[in-house]
Structure 1
């Protein structure tokens, strides 16, 4: 299984944000605003800017976004920022601040941020067109007016960074979905665009299943055919309407940054205040009951199906068997039974989180051999690998943790994982963590 390549450019949007923060903090030095505490002002404006950008999705402009959309986003951002900026005077009781100089500072940052936003965007468009960087390989399935308009846009607007590879004509007698799928895999295609009008419902289901299970992005050229009940995401590429089947909040760079920051802070807290003293104590107890390593590591599949070593405190006697523990398993030690019941054995995975291999909350990673098995048994199983795996997850706090005893267990787990992926928020992560701690204190039936 190959992971998707070049799907997202994680450094572009943070670059925009960094430039804006530098402008906010350095421009103030050129005006006689008479601020008593520049450090406080800098922290205040930076924090407000980041929060507003997050709420207004200020940096969520796409490669195909129109200039009018960007200008509307800038106006919305600064209208709110201006009010909060002047609130600094009353909130921190600094009547000596010059309102006039503050106004000049505000106008200057509006001009500078707008200028650099369009400058970086212009340079990025040129980079895609001239040097062929930051590209996504695409194929289209269908042959009609809108499809041909889209292909023309891909070929003429190279600054968008889409590289058209092949068109599959459904109406031709030689058309075969399996050959189409083979081409997509062999040529490492990133995105698939389909004409809804030309495909049967069964063919659409096959395409949806294939793209989900192979980590490809699927988008539709819409018509009036009713194929899905869920809300689709609607965008324009030039004048061509395009629908995206699945929206993943963690593909948004600011969301990804917020989650990563939360992961790092929580992991450091656990390592410093819990694992620093708990690890030596558990090491003595584990070694006392059965000789062997304190930690147990096992290959798991993470984001983009990449393999990594998942860490745990060893809870079983050393054995050549790599099978998952089952109810009444005699390999589990007395100490192991306790730390598994309370989920303490999972705490070393905070090291995996710091390394960037896992997140605190996300779909639980399975053993590699189990993934290969579930991939064949459960449709859309691969969707779980669009995000980093977690120490805990929505499925686990909803009663689907531990051993997979029936087919329905894994189906339900995947259902909850996909819901989490499509509805992520930081508040949902916090809720899952709280429920995990409560379950650990109470003990869980399937934690054996």
Structure 2
């Protein structure tokens, strides 16, 4: 091939999309059906009560339709199937999030009073029940259709390691894909002791051509560790004449990832290994900010009597200011002032070292011990949320001195700053509140913080906020 022809071929290849959209038609149908169902039910209920479809209810219906489509799509309500119960829970939490956002919009715009509570409550619960019933019915019918009429696609997986095992499990459980895993093939890099659960290891690479003919294989997944990536090109070339689809499942999980994702720019596939969730999804960031500030404003108003009482008791407990402001690292490592009720007597740190509070710490006042145990001392951080320096949910901000100490002792410790710090977080509701007197405890807190960043969604924020009051009953907070 001449140089000009080779260049033209390369140009043509670059213009093709390398990342394809594999959205399920059934999932899209379910999503569209739920939007129509919610809209029709609102119309039916208003007709029953008013014999009309008033303008405010039309606006609410349109907002609900757009919100439902966005939230359900973002949370992947119908894109993955892990059982009827988990599917219903995922659907319910997404619907609850939509209702919360609509309630916040009504509160902020002062329009909630113009709606009939009877209609709204009936509508909210009826739609939820009908959506769950529809989900279970469509899931059952699609499962039966796949079992009885679906065309199975015989599949081989090259690899016998952890990535191959996870891939096989995911393919077998995915109700949308026709792929049926026949077995696995050991690669040159495979360890003979490794096996894939519930799947046969049919042989090595030297047997792959015979296996393709014997089982009429139509698709092959390459699930090899990163160290074996040099063999992938040779495997692809060797399989070109076999009339099979060859798909590479790179073992990027062997790396220390943070909010990883895959996208494309001008036809070039890009794998984000380390990215802040607050920069990768602008729409979700705006929605998180709106939710944070709305709830913080409502909470400050509702909790103001308690906060005034605590401020009075703190002022009486010992000389000093009511509030304690400490330098802590925030989003992208910027130093912020974090507000708290003062729970200790005024004291000087020895050698400038910030010492964490311990059990029976003489520096803690009587009111301080109570507000620390119940986390009431953290309530002024609602002001930080209104300022935009903190979020309601996120990794807890640590003192600058603690960050300097732990940053070179715990792997990826500073990666927790890739998202705004929060008043509460996944680590806190999982039992890692209070003193972290050992490296192991801090490592577990960081592990949960990174898990939160990797799985961040508005639904997860709502779940953590709901669970936070129960976590306040912990006995190990000083």
Separation in structure 2 between the aligned mates of residue 399 and residue 342 of structure 1, nearest angstrom: 14
1:279 maps to what in 2?
307
Deviations 1:16-46 (A, max 9, x none): xxxxxxxxxxxxxxxxxxx964443234323
Separation in structure 1 between the aligned mates of residue 283 and residue 72 of structure 2, nearest angstrom: 10
Separation in structure 2 between the aligned mates of residue 303 and residue 314 of structure 1, nearest angstrom: 24
Match of 1:407 among 435, 439, 453: 439
Separation in structure 2 between the aligned mates of residue 429 and residue 285 of structure 1, nearest angstrom: 32
1:41 maps to what in 2?
58
1:13-412 to 2 correspondence within 5 Å?
Answer: 37-56=54-73, 226=251, 228-229=253-254, 233-246=261-274, 249-250=277-278, 251-274=280-303, 276-321=304-349, 322-412=354-444
1:424 maps to what in 2?
456
Give 1:333 shift.
Answer: 0.5
Separation in structure 2 between the aligned mates of residue 363 and residue 292 of structure 1, nearest angstrom: 29
Give 1:223 shift.
Answer: 8.0
Unmatched segments (≥5 aa) in structure 1: 1-34, 58-90, 93-198, 202-221
For normalisation by structure 1, the TM-score amounts to: 0.52
Contact 2:428 2:471 in 1 (8 A): no
Separation in structure 2 between the aligned mates of residue 282 and residue 369 of structure 1, nearest angstrom: 28
| 3-state SS of paired residue (1:323) | coil
Unmatched segments (≥5 aa) in structure 2: 1-51, 75-118, 121-225, 229-246
Q: Measured at CA, do residues 44 and 246 of structure 1 come closer, stay the same or move farther in structure 2, by a change above 3 Å?
A: same
Deviations 1:242-266 (A, max 9, x none): 2222566543122212222221222
Larger CA Rg, structure 1 vs 2:
2
Separation in structure 2 between the aligned mates of residue 272 and residue 313 of structure 1, nearest angstrom: 17
| 3-state SS of paired residue (1:52) | helix
Give 1:430 shift.
Answer: 2.4
Which portions of structure 1, spanning 4 or more consecutive aligned residues, are displaced by more than 4 angstroms? 222-227, 229-232, 246-250
How many residue pairs are counted as aligned between the two chains? Answer: 254
Contact 2:341 2:378 in 1 (8 A): yes
Contact 1:247 1:422 in 2 (8 A): no
| 3-state SS of paired residue (2:407) | helix
Separation in structure 2 between the aligned mates of residue 38 and residue 372 of structure 1, nearest angstrom: 57
For normalisation by structure 2, the TM-score amounts to: 0.49
Cα root mean square deviation, aligned:
3.0
Contact 1:54 1:254 in 2 (8 A): no
Q: Measured at CA, do residues 428 and 56 of structure 1 come closer, stay the same or move farther in structure 2, by a change above 3 Å?
A: closer
Q: Which fold has the larger relative contact order, with Cα–Cα distance below 8 Å and residues 6 or more apart in sequence?
A: 1
Separation in structure 1 between the aligned mates of residue 348 and residue 437 of structure 2, nearest angstrom: 23
Separation in structure 2 between the aligned mates of residue 239 and residue 288 of structure 1, nearest angstrom: 66
Separation in structure 2 between the aligned mates of residue 291 and residue 283 of structure 1, nearest angstrom: 13
Q: Measured at CA, do residues 228 and 273 of structure 1 come closer, stay the same or move farther in structure 2, by a change above 3 Å?
A: closer
Contact 2:395 2:449 in 1 (8 A): yes
Separation in structure 1 between the aligned mates of residue 428 and residue 334 of structure 2, nearest angstrom: 22
Give 1:200 shift.
Answer: 7.1
